[in-house]
């Protein structure tokens, strides 16, 4: 098995829609540290698992200096069917679903607060 890992730092804002009162419901930003893990049993014809540039493009070009609520939910608002609450957990899942050969993503929104999504 071959593995690659890419760490990317972005700055982005979000606000959460929660079932309880929290200051996280207000618009706020983080300097996020995102670690993307990919694997493959065989290397592709170029001799790689997943191109690091592709990983960077998906993460940095999609999320850096963006309002994550709008990135994950174009045209939707909280309460709409299909709305994705932009928690660190859901951001990790979204990234994992959009990067080739990705099996795990770690999203750190602040020191000591890390969410990890890993495929079964």
For residue 73, the SS3 value is coil
Owner of token pair 């996020």 = 32
Q: What's the first-to-final CA gap in the chain, in angstroms? A: 16
Candidate CATH numbers 3.30.479.10, 3.40.50.2300, 3.30.70.1350, 3.20.20.140; the one for domain 2-118: 3.30.479.10
For residue 89, the SS3 value is helix
Among candidates 91, 83, 76, 78, which has minimal Cα distance to 12?
91
Total-model pTM: 0.95
Residues 28-54 have pLDDT tens digits of 999 999 999 999 999 999 999 999 999
Residues 60-111 have pLDDT tens digits of 999 999 999 999 999 999 999 999 999 999 999 999 999 999 999 999 999 9
């Amino acid at each position: 098995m071959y593995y690659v890992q890419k760490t990317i730092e972005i700055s982005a804002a979000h606000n959460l829609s929660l079932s309880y009162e929290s200051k996280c419901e207000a618009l706020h930003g983080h300097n996020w540290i995102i670690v993307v893990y990919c694997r493959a049993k065989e290397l592709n014809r170029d001799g790689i698992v997943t191109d690091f540039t592709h990983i960077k493009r998906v993460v940095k070009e999609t999320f850096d200096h963006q309002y994550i609520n709008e990135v994950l939910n174009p045209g939707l608002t909280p309460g709409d069917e299909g709305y994705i609450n932009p928690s660190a957990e859901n951001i990790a899942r979204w990234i994992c679903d959009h990067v080739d050969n990705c099996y795990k993503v770690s999203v750190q929104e602040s020191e000591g607060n890390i969410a990890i999504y890993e495929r079964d």
